[in-house]
């Protein structure tokens, strides 16, 4: 124990002595060691290094020597390069005894360094960069130590950099830093762990000067071309980044870097964006918080990329561009990776979400792309747009106003082609889905259609589209679309228009009072092939606004219609194709209910039109049609027209056939006079067209029955009219033409034959009972509108007319009646008549001194007439009056030249009238002689003859005068020839129409 204490005592004394010896040696060698260090440094620089104080310690870092320099200053002739407040240097102890200074640790605390490049391109540190001439030739191929610095510590160091030619400035602060360096021929190792700051930075054509400060925390090691980043944290105005990893440099660069976090304040960072870039895109404002994470791992060279996986996030984004709505609440989440193969083939970009809002609008998008060699894509969007906000920022268009809400959902996927051509549109449509919802949308367009309160949904998916519950108001037309549902799809490709086709499997459209339902298809735009099967009910007044004001004043009533049609159109002959389809490949049916139409440009008003109209197999059918035309009531049970297309439209030698039974109400001819004026003007306008038009090859044939309750022609009233008709292009027949008129009844037939050379042959027959001749003359104003002079007036003639076997024939060549070929036969009776002031009888009375001939009141007037050879012949006419009985025969020319032979009775003349005895005798007489006289009475005979409009004979004649005999013989012969030329019974007026009455 005593020995141990002794040893410890000796060791303590030795240690204390050694410590005191080192302290003493340090004090004695301090200046020498400092001199060695300063000499070593000054030998390699062309500058002056001044030190205020130096402290040497041999104890602090045994077995190394520590030097502490205070207020170290390095200057050149023109500038102070650096100033260090405190500099600590640790060197190996043993080499110092051989005047060698091997530094193993350096620490700098406080101070600054000023690095400047002047306008000539020279730096103030050129003195440190110069290489002594004796070292330039030194052989450095041997394996000797170049640099070994185990510990370089930097604290509170300020570094100033100025580049005058390039106008670059920067201030760098090393708050704390620990560096180690080892470099020889085989190994290079550099490590740094510390914190740095920079500010007052300036770089040309940038806004770097706006940066307040950038701070970097760094822990890196570089060893033999391998950079290891244990920690890298960068923070500046509006951004911070944290990363770590390794980078191996060589022919190939290997990276294994992870950016664990990166956050960016876009509003703050936007200050660095060049003003020109902002102005080019008219960016007024941008903000948001973005974050990034990324991993980079793998080899990089000219042909290989490392594996990159990155994710980007953005929240609270906001951007304002020009006058467009400000986008608020922008959010983004997405990632990028170049995949397992680390090339374009495995590269993909995913957008998990991109959301934004603008005013009352907002949107959401997602999607991604893969394989940059052959890009495949997918995208999905959901937008809800407030159209009021959008309209305020639209460029000048036809829109005057736009409002409402639009909600759109869309998605698409596919692979982008190497070449974009017309087929790409089909590719996109095949892989796209759309769904659009409209809510209370209002659209106002300049001089075009305006829409109010548009609501509904439109969808598209895989060549099929759907319109669901679409509604809107068309204020300009006073129409409300209450519902529109459409289901359709298309086939073919937009790149091949001829292959396109659309199939509408269902459409259901309704307005407030009307609807339309059905299905349709349309194929091959080059030669359109279409089909339509639809039913509709239309209230005409709803669509009045769509009709040009120049055509209609009003439309009323409803139409229930069905149509089934289909065909193919050739665009160069579309009218022919449509007509062929309409008449031969369509079935149309329309039920009219109280339809009313009032024309604007024509004096036409149709009201209360009801019934059924159909079109099928080139035939139009009308059943139970009734209505009112300009005040004329009409109806028909059944009417049809056939072969309209095959005969008329094609102008082929076929026959248009029609059959109709038409009943009319009260008619006034005055209502037709405006139409007559219009037709005359139209005919004058189309004369040239008719002159060059193709001659008609078709024929027509129509038959039926027409009736009318009444017909006013001026003052003339015809009632209970009816007729059977059968007409064709060369033959017109009207039979049983029955009329109640002028207090009597007539039944007539007419047959018109069209002959070659513009010749018309007219046959007619008539039977009249109880016709008041005075009423006829009065109502027709004595026919003054049809003759140059009045032959006889209603003031001259009255009586009741009856006809028996009245028949005739006219030949019209061009516009003229061939008087020489007029044929007429008639037996006429006029009862209870009166002839007053008639020139012929008045003149005869004066010539023969017979009173009463200027005012005859006769009981009957029987006459038998026939016309032939351009003359009127009267074989026998008996006139029984209350004063005289007269019989006559003779001939009358159409120019009023005449020759009449008259018989009257002597007693009636002598007695100035009839006695009661004569009236009784005549009333009992049942037989007349050959001359029409009454037996037992003395007769007087006279002749009355006019030639060239002048009376050449008015005198008594003998019973057997030659003139009388010749006239009688002439009448006989003419009558016989007339019988041979004209047989009324041979002419048939059969129409083939069954009269059910």
Report d(CA 560, CA 613) in Å as an integer: 10
User: Is the model more confident about 34 or about 347?
Assistant: 347
**Per-residue confidence at 966, pLDDT binned at 50, 70, 90?**
very high
On whether the CB atoms of residues 813 and 874 are closer than 8 A, the answer is: no
Q: How many CB atoms lie within 10 A of CB 815?
A: 6
**Per-residue confidence at 484, pLDDT binned at 50, 70, 90?**
very high
- Report the pLDDT value the prediction gives residue 24, as an integer from 0 to 100: 44
Q: What is the mean pLDDT of residues 853-868?
A: 81
User: Is the model more confident about 122 or about 100?
Assistant: 122
* CA 117 vs CA 30, 121, 125, 163, 201: distances in Å: 38, 6, 9, 5, 15
Whether the pLDDT of residue 922 is over 60: the answer is no
Top mean pLDDT of 46-55, 72-81, 734-743, 950-959 is at 734-743
Q: Which of 12-16, 676-680, 762-766, 969-973 has the lowest mean pLDDT?
A: 12-16
Q: Which of 118-122, 379-383, 971-975 has the lowest mean pLDDT?
A: 118-122
Question: pLDDT tens digit string along 727-739?
Answer: 988 889 999 989 9
Strands (E), 630-698: 632-642, 655-668
Whether the pLDDT of residue 914 is over 80: the answer is no
Q: Which of 488-497, 752-761, 804-813 has the lowest mean pLDDT?
A: 488-497
Q: What is the DSSP letter of 240?
A: E
Q: Which two tokens stand for residue 327?
A: 């986008």
- Report the pLDDT value the prediction gives residue 924, as an integer from 0 to 100: 57
Q: What is the mean pLDDT of residues 225-238?
A: 88
Residues above pLDDT 70, as percent of the chain = 84
Report d(CA 234, CA 225) in Å as an integer: 23
- Report the pLDDT value the prediction gives residue 142, as an integer from 0 to 100: 45
Q: Which of 618-632, 786-800, 944-958 has the lowest mean pLDDT?
A: 786-800
Tokens 């009166």, located at residue? 834
Q: Which of 62-66, 451-455, 932-936 has the lowest mean pLDDT?
A: 932-936
Report d(CA 404, CA 453) in Å as an integer: 8
**Per-residue confidence at 687, pLDDT binned at 50, 70, 90?**
very low
Whether the pLDDT of residue 487 is over 90: the answer is yes
**Per-residue confidence at 915, pLDDT binned at 50, 70, 90?**
low
Strands (E), 280-347: 283-300, 307-321, 327-337
- Report the pLDDT value the prediction gives residue 468, as an integer from 0 to 100: 92
Whether the pLDDT of residue 407 is over 70: the answer is yes
**Per-residue confidence at 30, pLDDT binned at 50, 70, 90?**
low
Q: Phi and psi of 131, rounded to 5°?
A: -110, 125
Question: pLDDT tens digit string along 872-905?
Answer: 999 988 888 777 778 889 998 887 789 999 887 7
Mean residue pLDDT across the chain? 80
On whether the CB atoms of residues 187 and 218 are closer than 8 A, the answer is: no
Report d(CA 486, CA 519) in Å as an integer: 9
Q: Which of 538-547, 649-658, 671-680, 684-693 has the lowest mean pLDDT?
A: 684-693
Strands (E), 416-478: 432-445, 451-461, 464-474
- Report the pLDDT value the prediction gives residue 409, as an integer from 0 to 100: 92
On whether the CB atoms of residues 356 and 315 are closer than 8 A, the answer is: no
Q: What is the mean pLDDT of residues 59-70?
A: 68
On whether the CB atoms of residues 174 and 155 are closer than 8 A, the answer is: yes
**Per-residue confidence at 816, pLDDT binned at 50, 70, 90?**
confident
- Report the pLDDT value the prediction gives residue 457, as an integer from 0 to 100: 93
Q: Which two tokens stand for residue 111?
A: 């101070």
On whether the CB atoms of residues 625 and 611 are closer than 8 A, the answer is: yes
- Report the pLDDT value the prediction gives residue 7, as an integer from 0 to 100: 45
Report d(CA 173, CA 148) in Å as an integer: 25
Q: What is the mean pLDDT of residues 262-280?
A: 83
Q: What is the mean pLDDT of residues 632-640?
A: 86
- Report the pLDDT value the prediction gives residue 145, as an integer from 0 to 100: 47
Which residues does 948 contact at the CB level (< 8 Å), separation at least 6?
Answer: 897
- Report the pLDDT value the prediction gives residue 506, as an integer from 0 to 100: 92
On whether the CB atoms of residues 195 and 154 are closer than 8 A, the answer is: no
Report d(CA 192, CA 227) in Å as an integer: 11
Strands (E), 164-252: 168-183, 188-202, 214-223, 226-236, 239-248
Beta strands 103-117; 147-163: pairing state: parallel
Which residues does 951 contact at the CB level (< 8 Å), separation at least 6?
Answer: 843, 944, 945
Report d(CA 801, CA 803) in Å as an integer: 7
- Report the pLDDT value the prediction gives residue 102, as an integer from 0 to 100: 64
């Amino acid at each position: 124990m005593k020995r141990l204490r002794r040893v410890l005592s000796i060791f303590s004394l030795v240690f204390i002595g050694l410590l005191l010896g080192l302290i003493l040696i340090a004090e004695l060698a301090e200046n020498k060691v400092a001199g060695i260090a300063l000499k070593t440094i000054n030998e390699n620089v062309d500058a002056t290094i001044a030190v205020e104080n130096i402290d040497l310690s041999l104890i602090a870092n045994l077995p190394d020597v520590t030097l502490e320099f205070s207020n170290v200053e390095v200057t050149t002739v023109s500038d102070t390069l650096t100033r260090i407040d405190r500099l600590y240097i640790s060197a190996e102890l043993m080499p110092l005894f051989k005047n060698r200074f091997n530094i193993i640790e350096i620490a700098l605390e406080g101070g600054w360094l000023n690095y400047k490049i002047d306008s000539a391109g020279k730096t103030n540190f050129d003195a440190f960069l110069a290489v002594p001439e004796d070292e330039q030739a030194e052989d450095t191929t041997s394996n000797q130590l170049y640099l070994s610095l185990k510990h370089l510590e930097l604290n509170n160091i300020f570094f100033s950099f100025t580049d005058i030619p390039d106008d670059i400035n920067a201030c760098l602060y090393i708050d704390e830093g620990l560096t180690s360096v080892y470099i020889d021929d085989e190994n290079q190792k550099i490590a740094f762990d510390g914190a740095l700051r920079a500010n007052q930075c300036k770089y040309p054509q940038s806004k770097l000067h706006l940066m307040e400060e950038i701070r970097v925390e760094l822990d890196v090691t570089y060893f033999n071309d391998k950079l290891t980043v244990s920690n890298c944290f960068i923070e500046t105005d509006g951004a911070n980044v944290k990363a770590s990893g390794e980078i191996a440099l060589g022919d190939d660069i290997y990276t294994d870097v992870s950016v664990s976090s990166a956050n960016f304040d876009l509003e703050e960072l936007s200050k660095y964006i060049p003003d020109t870039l902002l102005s080019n895109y008219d960016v007024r404002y941008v903000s948001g918080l973005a974050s990034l994470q990324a991993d980079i791992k793998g080899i990089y060279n000219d042909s290989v990329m490392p594996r990159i996986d990155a994710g980007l996030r953005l929240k609270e984004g906001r951007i304002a561009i020009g006058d467009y709505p400000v986008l608020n609440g922008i959010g983004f989440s997405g990632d990028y990776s170049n995949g397992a193969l680390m090339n374009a083939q495995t590269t993909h970009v995913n957008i998990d979400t991109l959301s934004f809002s603008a005013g009352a609008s907002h949107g959401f998008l997602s999607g991604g792309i893969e394989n940059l060699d052959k890009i495949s894509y997918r995208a999905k969007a959901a937008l809800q747009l407030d159209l009021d906000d959008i309209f305020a920022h639209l460029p000048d268009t036809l829109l005057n106003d736009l409002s409402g809400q639009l909600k759109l959902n869309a998605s698409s996927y596919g692979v982008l082609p190497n070449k974009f051509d017309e087929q790409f549109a089909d590719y996109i449509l095949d892989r796209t889905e759309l769904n659009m919802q409209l809510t209370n949308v209002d659209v106002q367009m300049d001089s075009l259609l305006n829409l109010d309160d548009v609501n509904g949904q439109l969808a598209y998916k895989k060549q099929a589209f759907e319109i669901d519950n679409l509604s809107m108001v068309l204020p300009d037309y006073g129409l409300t679309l209450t519902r529109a549902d459409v289901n359709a799809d298309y086939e073919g490709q937009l790149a091949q228009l001829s292959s396109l086709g659309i199939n509408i499997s269902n459409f259901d459209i309704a307005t407030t009072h009307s609807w339309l339902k059905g299905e349709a298809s349309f194929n091959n735009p080059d030669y359109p092939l279409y089909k339509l099967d639809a039913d509709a009910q239309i209230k005409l007044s709803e669509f009045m606004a769509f009709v040009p004001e120049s055509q209609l004043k009003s439309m009323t009533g409803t139409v229930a219609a069905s149509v089934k049609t289909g065909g193919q159109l050739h665009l160069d002959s579309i009218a022919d194709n449509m007509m062929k389809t309409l008449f031969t490949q369509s079935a149309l049916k329309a039920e009219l209910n109280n339809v009313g139409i009032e024309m604007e440009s024509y004096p036409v008003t149709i009201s209360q039109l009801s019934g059924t109209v159909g079109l099928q197999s080139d035939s139009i059918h009308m059943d139970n049609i009734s209505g009112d035309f300009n005040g004329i009531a009409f109806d028909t049970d059944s009417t049809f027209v056939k072969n309209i297309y095959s005969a008329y439209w094609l102008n082929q030698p076929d026959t248009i056939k029609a059959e109709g039974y038409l009943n009319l109400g009260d008619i006034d001819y005055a209502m037709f006079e405006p139409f007559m004026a219009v037709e005359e003007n139209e005919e004058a306008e189309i004369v040239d067209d008719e002159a060059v038009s193709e001659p008609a090859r078709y024929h027509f044939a129509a038959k039926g029955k027409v009736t009318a309750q009444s017909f006013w022609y001026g003052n003339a009233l015809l009632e209970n009219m009816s007729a059977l008709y059968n007409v064709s292009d060369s033959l017109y027949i009207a039979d049983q033409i029955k009329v109640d008129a002028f207090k009597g009844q007539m039944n007539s037939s007419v047959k018109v034959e069209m002959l070659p050379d513009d010749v018309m042959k007219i046959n007619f027959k008539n039977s009249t009972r109880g016709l008041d001749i005075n009423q006829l003359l009065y109502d027709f104003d004595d026919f003054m509108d049809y003759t140059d002079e009045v032959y006889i007036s209603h003031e001259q003639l009255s009586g009741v007319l009856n006809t028996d076997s009245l028949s005739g024939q006219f030949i019209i060549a061009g516009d003229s009646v061939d008087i020489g070929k007029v044929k007429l036969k008639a037996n006429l009776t006029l009862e209870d008549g009166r002839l007053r002031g008639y020139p012929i009888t008045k003149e005869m009375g004066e010539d023969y001194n017979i009173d009463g001939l200027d005012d005859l009141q006769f009981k009957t007037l029987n006459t038998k007439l026939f016309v032939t050879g351009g003359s009127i012949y009267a074989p026998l006419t008996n006139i029984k009056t209350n004063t005289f009985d007269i019989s006559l025969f003779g001939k009358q020319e159409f120019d009023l030249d005449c020759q009449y032979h008259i018989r009257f009775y002597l007693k009636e003349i002598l007695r100035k009238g009839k006695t009661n005895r004569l009236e009784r005798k005549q009333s009992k007489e049942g037989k007349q002689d050959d001359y029409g006289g009454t037996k037992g009475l003395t007769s007087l005979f006279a002749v009355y003859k006019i030639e060239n409009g002048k009376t050449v004979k008015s005198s008594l004649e003998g019973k057997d005068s030659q003139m009388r005999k010749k006239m009688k013989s002439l009448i006989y012969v003419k009558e016989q020839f007339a019988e041979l030329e004209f047989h009324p019974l041979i002419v048939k007026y059969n129409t083939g129409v069954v009269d059910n009455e």
